[in-house]
């Protein structure tokens, strides 16, 4: 049998359905298994945001290079800024 690594778990639902409650419980009870991904972005940090906590803030050139190298599972452009998930 082929051993498989961790797989993503996507939780979605309408507003007020308990998504955040479920996530908080999973993070509390299984901290070694569940957590948030931290996206990369080319936008400037807002007041109070920390690099590596809220986003990985990178320059356009580094983001484009990482995209060309296939380092992201998804990318998007919103309001002139690039975003991506590794």
Contact 15, 3 (CB under 8 A): no
Q: Is residue 46 part of a domain?
A: yes
Q: Is residue 6 part of a domain?
A: no
Q: What CA–CA distances, in Å, run from 69 to 17, 72, 73, 79?
A: 38, 8, 11, 24
Predicted local confidence at residue 2, as pLDDT: 63
Could you tell me the CATH number of the domain that includes residue 58?
3.30.63.10
Structure tokens at 83: 């975003």
Q: Is residue 19 part of a domain?
A: no
pTM of the model: 0.70
Contact 73, 86 (CB under 8 A): yes
Q: Is residue 51 part of a domain?
A: yes
Which domain range does residue 74 map to?
40-85
Average confidence (pLDDT) per 10 residues, the chain, 86 residues? 76 90 93 89 97 97 98 96 96
The number of folded domains in the chain is 1
Q: Is residue 49 part of a domain?
A: yes
Predicted local confidence at residue 3, as pLDDT: 72
Q: Is residue 2 part of a domain?
A: no
């Amino acid at each position: 049998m082929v051993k498989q690594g961790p797989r993503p778990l996507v939780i979605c639902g309408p507003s007020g359905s308990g998504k955040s409650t479920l996530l908080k419980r999973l993070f509390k009870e299984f901290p070694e298994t569940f957590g948030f991904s931290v996206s990369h972005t080319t936008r400037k940090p807002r007041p109070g945001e920390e690099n590596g906590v809220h986003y990985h803030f990178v320059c356009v050139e580094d983001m484009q290079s990482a995209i060309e190298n296939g380092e992201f599972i998804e990318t998007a452009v919103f309001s002139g800024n690039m975003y991506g998930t590794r």
